[in-house]
Amino acid sequence: MDTTALTAHLVVVGFGKGGKTVAHAYAEAGERVVLIEQSADMYGGTCPNVGCVPTKMLVHYSGGRRLADDAQEYFAGSVAGVRALTSAFRAGNFESLNGRDTATVLTGAASFVDPHTVSVGDGQDRITVTAPVVLVNTGSEPVVPPVPGLTASPHLVSSTQLTKTTNLPERLVVIGGGYLGLEFASIYQRFGTHVTILESAGRLLPREDEDIAAAVTNVLEGDGITIITGAKVTEVRDNGATSTVQYEKDGQQLSVEAGALLPATGRRAVTANLRLDAAGVLTKANGAIEVDEHLRTSQPHIYALGDVNGGEQFTYISLDDARIVLDDLLGQGKRTTSDRRAVPHTLFTTPPLATVGLTEAQAREQGLNIKVSREKVADIVAMPRAYAIEETRGVMKFIVDADTDLILGAALLVAEAQEVVNTVALAMRHNVTATELRDSIYTHPSITEGLNEVFDKVVS
């Protein structure tokens, strides 16, 4: 076989959750699969290498530091533990696919030659792969805002670097108060770093109800994080060991010192070097690939999965993308993105904030007849689990349709919220009423049994 020109039934560009899931299904069916990943450090995609797994592991480690522990030494040991796990996951992801008789993993930068052919590498090392079906699963990357001096700052760090560095900065400034920014702020503050969040909006989490955003703010400030809202960052100046971050607030010019600077102002699809024009694949103004409800691009045999298609940037959405694509390719073609309902989200602060469905504000804007059940975690008598694990901060809130008793939304700022919200989301998808959840039998002591009480705490 000419090793510079391969043919396959499926070629996948990017080793993310969606792409590798489809690749495994094809390989199990005996179809020839070639998966291309730009970096050997990213086998398995963002989640197990620099995203979900390492960050949540750092959340776990950050809560275990004792007062007697040296902050720098404890942090370095925690990062070593993260590296060990991510290395094992990376090797496992590579071998689980490349070890199959019908699958090959190629490492290198990929770009389209034509609608059915992808090129990897350059010069004598160049390989082309041709297949009737192509998947693009290249993910997203952080956006660095155009602040003078920021890009050139030696103290600029990315979320990826913060999951790998063994140096615990004395002062971290986070630009942006979204999910990623708040998670890293919470993690590093608990490790012993002095953290300042600069958020341009008037409050944190503007998409959440004001009472929920205020509760999250109180938790973070209670942990010692400095939160400055309404702050427009105007310039970054290097001072050698630190940088000065200048910002404007209420007409005043202010500044804060930083040993590390994390921009957390969004991410963009990784498409710039794919030569999508050669394949006839259309993109949106922000660079994300245009797809239909089956995740087909402007070329019906080319699919885009995960962050690269401009949808919600979560691993479990990428996994559901894989289900849709597999149904389109190997099933009945009935599954679409419009089937998604009650998709939960979790912000992994401590305690975590998990949400699903409508906020109270959204429900009222839609003119729905609602009742709101809300109770502070510390006041939930039927949930001693919170006291047993010594985490009584937060609130549990539900939006219920007053006419049908169906749950319209929930915001759970409580320990283990990332687990409880899945029960609530499942109930929403299957039209289980608030009364049924309230009267159900749950294990004791657990956070879930808080549902026995909170649904009776109607506040409006």
Catalytic residues, by residue number, are: 444
Between the CA of residue 157 and those of 106, 128, 165, 184, 348, what are the distances in Å? 29, 35, 10, 12, 20
DSSP characters over 374-411: EEEGGG-TT-THHHHTT----EEEEEEETTT-BEEEEE
376 assigned ligand-binding residue = no
Q: Coil, strand or helix: which one is 361? A: helix
Between the CA of residue 151 and those of 146, 189, 314, what are the distances in Å? 8, 24, 27
178 assigned ligand-binding residue = yes
182 assigned ligand-binding residue = yes
247 assigned ligand-binding residue = no
56 assigned ligand-binding residue = yes
176 assigned ligand-binding residue = yes
CA dihedral for 207, 209, 214, 217, sign (positive or negative): negative
Cα separation, 65 vs 41, in Å, equals 29
Cα separation, 344 vs 260, in Å, equals 32
367 assigned ligand-binding residue = no
266 assigned ligand-binding residue = yes
The H or E element spanning position 171 is strand 171-175
30 assigned ligand-binding residue = no
- Both structure tokens of 26: 């094809």
- Both structure tokens of 196: 């300042």
**Amino acid, res. 95:** E
Between the CA of residue 354 and those of 189, 215, 405, 410, what are the distances in Å? 21, 13, 21, 8
326 assigned ligand-binding residue = no
- Both structure tokens of 313: 């940037």
Instruction: Output phi, psi for 428, to 5 deg.
Output: -65, -40
Cα separation, 131 vs 125, in Å, equals 20
Which amino acids are annotated as binding site for NAD(+), given as ranges?
176-183, 199, 266
**Binding residue numbers:** 56, 138-140, 176-183, 199, 266, 307
Q: Which residues are annotated as a binding site for FAD?
A: 56, 138-140, 307
